[in-house]
Amino acid sequence: MSVCVNPHIAPERRLDVVLVAAAALVDADGRVLIAERPQGKAMAGLWEFPGGKVEPGEIPEAALARELAEELGIEVAPACFTPLSFASHSYDDFHLLMPLYLAYRWEGAVRALHHADLAWARPRDLARYPMPPADAPLLAALRDRLGA
Ligand SMILES: Nc1nc2c([nH]c(=O)n2[C@H]2C[C@H](O)[C@@H](COP(=O)(O)OP(=O)(O)OP(=O)(O)O)O2)c(=O)[nH]1
Ligand SMILES: [Mg+2]
């Protein structure tokens, strides 16, 4: 039997699982929106996919629509989120389970209401931005789906 190695998970530890829904908004040129986490929050200065924690009783798509309204000032219909992939990553104090959805349609212009900055990046350029460690495996899925 081959040995499987996944440095992202710590199965020997008991960690609370935190469900976070995140979106890759894709513009007409195939670029993806990323957002810089603000000072004062964990992982400040790293670039992430907008989104946030799913609250008890919420489905992930509704949580994501709520978070994008709060964070970016846009309206996205929950039915417009297409599942792309997900991150499963053990941090020191919790285990992140984060579905990443694609979205091509929204109402309004994005604004950095919570973030330090916003950037539209080509999928091949995403790796140049420092991102949370959980996000690294998602970049290949974006390149595969969207092209370079
Ligand atoms: N939104 C988002 N969170 C990510 C990404 N990668 C990653 O490790 N995370 C982590 C950071 C946080 O520990 C957690 C989600 O946090 P968040 O700060 O977006 O949560 P939230 O919007 O609900 O904000 P808050 O209630 O904590 O203030 O997931 C990502 O690409 N996008
Ligand atoms: Mg957030």
Which residue ranges form the domains of the chain, and what is each CATH number?
17-146 (3.90.79.10)
Question: What whole-number distance in Å separates Cα of residue 70 and Cα of residue 111?
Answer: 10
* Beta carbons within 8 Å of 139's beta carbon, 6+ residues apart: 123, 126, 127, 131
Per-residue pLDDT reduced to its tens digit, 6-34? 999 999 999 999 999 999 999 999 999 99
Ligand with an atom nearest the CA of residue 86? 1
Residue 15 CA, ligand 1 centroid: distance in Å: 17
Residue of minimum CA distance from atom 15 in ligand 1: 52
| Mean pLDDT, residues 103-107 taken together | 98
What ipTM was estimated for this complex?
A: 0.96
Per-position DSSP letters for 30-82, written without gaps between them: S-EEEEEPPTTSTTTT-EE-SEEEPPTT--HHHHHHHHHHHHH--B--GGG-E
Please report, as a single letter, which amino acid is at residue 118.
Answer: L
Residue 145 CA, ligand 2 centroid: distance in Å: 24
Please tell me whether residue 117 adopts helix, strand or coil conformation.
Answer: strand
Residue 102 CA, ligand 1 centroid: distance in Å: 17
Confidence bin at 95 (pLDDT 50/70/90): very high
- Which residue, among 33, 141, 132, has the nearest Cα to 91 in the 3D structure? 132
Ligand 1: residue of 36, 37, 48 to mutate (most ligand atoms within 8 A of CB) is 48
